[in-house]
Amino acid sequence: MITFISSNYGKYISVKNKFQKEKIKLNYYKCDLFEPIINDIEFISKTKAYEAYQIIKSPCFVIDSGFYITDYPNKKEYPGALVKRSRVSSDIDNLLITLKDVKNRHAYFLDCLTFYDGEKFYTFYGRSEGFIAKKKRGKLKKEAKSNLWLVFIPLNHKHTLAEMSEFEFNNRQDNHTSATTEFLNWYKQEYQKK
């Protein structure tokens, strides 16, 4: 059995749903892990996966998310992997004020899932492109991974993630990729057969 370690319950719900569809058992261990202050999503993810393994002494994975705003004033691609530390995701009102005069509102989420079995790291990525709305829209659901769902509009859509119905969210046409889905495909085809 695999354990997902995170302090973010919304991430757990999202991951759990995908595991259930694949009929793979998942443990959840709620824990805050040390996060290095570096704008490198893979390094952060591997560091946390290693720490997580030291805590539970069995195969586990973590997911770290970055949020990249293409034309953030004076800081291209900000905040990146520093999204939590920068408080961009926790203070949406301030983000909207900062972006008030920005014409190019392109942004993307980048997820990095790292599975560590005590010997080797396995890393998977997911990406979702879109734009930042001019105001908060919708209501956060339990599976929301971030307050940014209130302002993030995926490509080819008019609704923020927080406005989308479950059907619209699960069937959106924005060419997004999921680190969890990539991991599950690999796990079933490669790792489970060991």
Q: Is the pLDDT of residue 192 over 70?
A: no
> What per-residue confidence (pLDDT) applies to 193?
63
Question: Given CA atoms 153, 154, 157, 163 in this order, what sign does their dihedral have?
Answer: negative
Mean pLDDT, rounded, of the chain: 93
CATH 3.90.950.10 fits 2-191, yes or no: yes
Q: Is the pLDDT of residue 78 over 70?
A: yes
Task: Name the residue type at position 24.
Answer: I
> What per-residue confidence (pLDDT) applies to 189?
87
Q: Tell me which residue has tokens 């992997």.
A: 81
In whole angstroms, give the CA distance from residue 81 to residue 40. Answer: 6
Q: Is the pLDDT of residue 131 over 80?
A: yes
Kindly list the domain boundaries of the chain, sorted by start residue. 2-191
The average pLDDT across 21-26 equals 92
Task: Name the residue type at position 19.
Answer: F
What proportion of the chain, given as a percentage, has pLDDT over 70? 98
Q: Is the pLDDT of residue 156 over 70?
A: yes
Question: Is residue 143 very low, low, confident or very high in pLDDT (cuts 50, 70, 90)?
Answer: confident
Q: Is the pLDDT of residue 79 over 90?
A: yes
Q: Which residues on adjacent β-strands are paired with residue 2?
A: 26
Instruction: State the burial class of residue 179 (Cβ atoms within 10 Å of its Cβ: 0-12, 13-18, 19+).
Output: buried
> What per-residue confidence (pLDDT) applies to 173?
87
CA-to-CA separations, 91 to 85, 100, 111, 146, in angstroms, rounded: 11, 15, 20, 11
The average pLDDT across 131-139 equals 97
Q: Tell me which residue has tokens 């560091």.
A: 47
Q: Is the pLDDT of residue 34 over 80?
A: yes
